[in-house]
A and B are shown apart, each in its own frame.
Chain A
Amino acid sequence: MTDTLTIRNLHVSVGDTPILKGVDLELKRGETHALMGPNGCGKSTLGMALMGHPNYEVTAGEIVLNGTNVLEMRPDERARAGLFMAFQRPVAIPGVKLADFLRHATTNVRRPDRKEGEDLIPMREFRQELKSKMQQLKIDPEFARRYVNDGFSGGEMKRAEILQLAMLEPKFAILDETDSGLDADAVLLASQSIAEIGRKQIGLLIITHHDKLLEHNRPDYTHVMLGGRIVETGGIELAQELHARGYDRIRQTYPEAAADNSAMAKGEALPLGA
């Protein structure tokens, strides 16, 4: 049976503010989905909720991975079950070398039952694998010795996220604007790399405002989010339309969601004192 990630009627709040207002989405392993929508419509919120960020409270709905309730799992259990998110804004961990971080991460994800304190993947074996993956992604091997996202340029951070994707080989990956902040060459390289990694049968949910990434990772489905809801789903032609003409048609067709979206953007929906 194909691995399936199902999101049903998902409502998510940050503090007292509702952000997602009933999202439905089904991803099968091997499929590529594009998730588009104007700034502040809730795309990243969906990713955070999928991974279980403590500040993003699921107030209704469900997330199910192959029949298992994801909402009951801690973030690390979700990672070990095969969920991955490339962060829109990766977080720095000063003093921790990317290689050491990844060795521990890779061990935990590949051996989901590993207990704290048990051995990590042997250093030599890991180094070899990391080196060859870095080569494929044209990342300077020195990079592994730098501290995780600490002082990385915007582009370096995104490439480090792709490297982690390549090492962890998840079942499902949300790529949250993994193409932003990259120069033209880097976007091309990232797009090709993701396509290459994606061949290992990953269910991809690609959040993007550009078209390059989708050119190389042709979406089977395109979803448009507005005001915390998915208002329209189509094929690649929908992505192409939005790239060419923007969101005016969407806003006009779904005025209620558009109103929600602008309220969210103005911060009107934010709780008092936030």
Chain B
Amino acid sequence: MVASGVQTGFSQENFAAFLLERSEPNWLTDLRRDFWEEFQRRSMPTRAQEEWMRTDIRLLHLGQQEWPTTSVAQTELPSAALSTGVELAGQTVTLNGRTQSHALVARWREQGVIFGPLESIVQEHPELVRKYLLNRAVDPRYDKFSALHAACWGCGTILFVPRHVCIDAPFHTMSILSDGGVDLGHTLIVLEDGAEASVLVETASCQPHDKGFHCGATEIIQGAGSRLRFVGLQDWGSGVWHLAHQKAVLSKDASLQWTIGALGARLAKVNQHVELVGPGAECQVNGVMFTEGKQHLSYHTLQHHMAPSCRSDFLYKAALQDTSRTVWRGMIKVDQGAQKTDGYQRNDNLLLSAKARADAIPGLEIEADDVRCTHGSTTGRVDEEPIFYACCRGFTRKEAIRMIVTGFFQQVFDRITIDSVRDALGRSIARRVREYE
């Protein structure tokens, strides 16, 4: 498989070559070295660990992944799902961890907005990037994959919105993998006090069954009173390993609407963490998952209330087809001082085949005494009765099931305030639903 003399994988030699080629500020190179050591030191997670108990990655061989800077042959790129017909404030596109194009509307640049490829902006605004990158939100030492990402991220997108700048048009970021490609992209979003923005991030493979490896991180840092709508649509090919750490830190009265669409990947292990550090902050999470074939998607959410009077409201809905499997592990953590916390988490699963399986593991860890925290989860199959009812009105069985599945997601669609996102998710799901016996 491996041509003689050519090293693949995350080897020491490749890492050294990678550092040489990049000519980055010293502080960054030093950090990368530290994290590389951490990566080397940590062993692969095993099923003995709570987070990995239901998620088997024994077939993931890091040594066999291509190094992310390998160039790619010209391929036909998938079209964007979230940005069609939408006027954008800016856009970045990457292919196999390399930036292909980027743009920022002049009007926003003039107001001090910074948006573009992280790898070039770290050269232009090193102090700004240094202040936030892997420093405030995601913990690079969380596990082997966060360390790998921190050491080897190759490209990424940064959005920085200065105080009180409100951007009405969304930013769009698209990360593409070709078959066998590797992406270690980083997304860093910083909203200063009173700033407002919307960011649409999507990932896709060139072909539906492409293989690949993604080990990414998303960091969101929001100042007081800032407002962000963030959408992440994951639609990798069915052969892609998707490992991601995503974390938002919200200051006083900041608000975040975070929508997650999880459709693709062979195996996904995602940690989504929201830290409410300032009083009055609020976060709404809308998760939409649709799995098929042998997919395994594992989402671990943590809503951490560190300050009083914050709200968090997480709703994940999943529909599962074939022999696919989802794991959702949700935790609401309330610190001692976080009185008047209003925390909610819910996970509903709809099984579209007898062999699909959904595990829901909600959890509460509450140290304050004046709080309202509720959680719940349901898992069920599609009933025959509504199918028959719809068929009696002229729907084919397949149309009936598709409609029932769409209806199942409606509650979460209704919460999404960006039309193009709602439509794209609805269409993608309807397209995937097959006949159900």
Contacts of A53 in B (CB 8 A): 388
A152 shortest CB reach to chain B, Å: 13
In the complex, the answer to whether B390 meets A51 with C-beta atoms within 8 Å is no
Contacts of A74 in B (CB 8 A): 391, 396-397
Specify the chain A residue showing the minimal Cβ separation from B383: A91
In the complex, the answer to whether B395 meets A105 with C-beta atoms within 8 Å is yes
Specify the chain A residue showing the minimal Cβ separation from B398: A116
Asked if A101 is at the interface (CB within 8 A of a chain B CB), the reply is: yes
Pick from B399, B403, B411: contact of A93, CB below 8 A.
B403
A83 shortest CB reach to chain B, Å: 8
Contact with A along B284-326 (1 / 0, CB 8 A): 0000000000000000000000000000000000000000000
Contacts of A175 in B (CB 8 A): none
Asked if B384 is at the interface (CB within 8 A of a chain A CB), the reply is: yes
User: In the complex the two chains form, what is the Cα distance from A95 to B415 in whole Å?
Assistant: 13
Pick from A78, A84, A95, A106: contact of B409, CB below 8 A.
A95
In the complex, the answer to whether B393 meets A105 with C-beta atoms within 8 Å is yes
Contacts of A91 in B (CB 8 A): 383, 385-386, 388-389
Asked if B63 is at the interface (CB within 8 A of a chain A CB), the reply is: no
Most buried by A among B384, B389, B392, B398: B392
Say whether, besides A95-B410, A96-B407, A101-B403, A54 and B392 are in contact (CB < 8 Å).
no
Specify the chain B residue showing the minimal Cβ separation from A90: B389
Specify the chain A residue showing the minimal Cβ separation from B403: A96
Contact with B along A88-132 (1 / 0, CB 8 A): 001111111000011011101100000010000000000000000
In the complex, the answer to whether B395 meets A54 with C-beta atoms within 8 Å is no
A157 shortest CB reach to chain B, Å: 11
In the complex, the answer to whether B407 meets A79 with C-beta atoms within 8 Å is no
In the complex, the answer to whether A104 meets B388 with C-beta atoms within 8 Å is no
> Which bucket holds chain B's interface residue count?
20 to 34
Asked if B132 is at the interface (CB within 8 A of a chain A CB), the reply is: no
Contacts of B406 in A (CB 8 A): 95-96
In the complex, the answer to whether B394 meets A105 with C-beta atoms within 8 Å is yes
Contacts of A106 in B (CB 8 A): 394
Pick from A52, A54, A79: contact of B393, CB below 8 A.
A79
A107 shortest CB reach to chain B, Å: 8
User: In the complex the two chains form, what is the Cα distance from A220 to B132 in whole Å?
Assistant: 82
Asked if B408 is at the interface (CB within 8 A of a chain A CB), the reply is: yes
In the complex, the answer to whether A108 meets B394 with C-beta atoms within 8 Å is yes
Asked if A247 is at the interface (CB within 8 A of a chain B CB), the reply is: no
Asked if B165 is at the interface (CB within 8 A of a chain A CB), the reply is: no
B321 shortest CB reach to chain A, Å: 17
Say whether, besides A74-B397, A93-B403, A116-B398, A51 and B408 are in contact (CB < 8 Å).
no
Asked if A85 is at the interface (CB within 8 A of a chain B CB), the reply is: yes
Pick from B394, B397, B403, B409: contact of A79, CB below 8 A.
B394
By DSSP majority rule, is chain B's interface helix, strand, loop, or mixed?
Answer: helix
Asked if A31 is at the interface (CB within 8 A of a chain B CB), the reply is: no
User: In the complex the two chains form, what is the Cα distance from A92 to B392 in whole Å?
Assistant: 14
Asked if A168 is at the interface (CB within 8 A of a chain B CB), the reply is: yes
Contacts of A108 in B (CB 8 A): 393-396, 399
Contacts of A92 in B (CB 8 A): 386
Asked if B404 is at the interface (CB within 8 A of a chain A CB), the reply is: yes
Asked if A227 is at the interface (CB within 8 A of a chain B CB), the reply is: no
User: In the complex the two chains form, what is the Cα distance from A116 to B404 in whole Å?
Assistant: 16
In the complex, the answer to whether A94 meets B392 with C-beta atoms within 8 Å is no
Specify the chain B residue showing the minimal Cβ separation from A100: B403
B386 shortest CB reach to chain A, Å: 5
Say whether, besides A94-B410, A96-B410, A104-B399, A79 and B391 are in contact (CB < 8 Å).
yes
Specify the chain B residue showing the minimal Cβ separation from A108: B394
A20 shortest CB reach to chain B, Å: 18
Pick from A54, A101, A116: contact of B390, CB below 8 A.
A101
A47 shortest CB reach to chain B, Å: 10
Contacts of B393 in A (CB 8 A): 79, 101-102, 105, 108-109, 164, 168
User: In the complex the two chains form, what is the Cα distance from A80 to B399 in whole Å?
Assistant: 14
In the complex, the answer to whether B407 meets A94 with C-beta atoms within 8 Å is yes
Asked if A24 is at the interface (CB within 8 A of a chain B CB), the reply is: no
Contacts of A143 in B (CB 8 A): none
User: In the complex the two chains form, what is the Cα distance from A56 to B407 in whole Å?
Assistant: 27
Pick from A55, A85, A168: contact of B394, CB below 8 A.
A168
Say whether, besides A54-B384, A76-B395, A79-B394, A147 and B407 are in contact (CB < 8 Å).
yes
User: In the complex the two chains form, what is the Cα distance from A33 to B212 in whole Å?
Assistant: 65
Asked if A221 is at the interface (CB within 8 A of a chain B CB), the reply is: no
In the complex, the answer to whether B384 meets A95 with C-beta atoms within 8 Å is no
In the complex, the answer to whether B399 meets A75 with C-beta atoms within 8 Å is no
> Given contacts A94-B410, A95-B410, A104-B395, could you give 20 more A-B pairs where the C-beta distance is less than 8 Å?
A53-B388, A74-B397, A75-B388, A75-B392, A76-B394, A76-B395, A79-B391, A79-B394, A84-B392, A87-B389, A91-B385, A91-B386, A91-B388, A91-B389, A94-B408, A101-B403, A105-B390, A105-B393, A108-B396, A109-B393
B interface list, Cβ under 8 A from A: 383-386, 388-400, 403-404, 406-411
Could you jot down 21 A-B contacts, CB within 8 Å? Answer: A74-B391, A76-B391, A76-B394, A79-B392, A79-B394, A87-B392, A91-B385, A92-B386, A93-B386, A93-B403, A94-B407, A95-B409, A96-B403, A96-B404, A101-B390, A104-B399, A104-B403, A106-B394, A116-B398, A147-B410, A168-B394
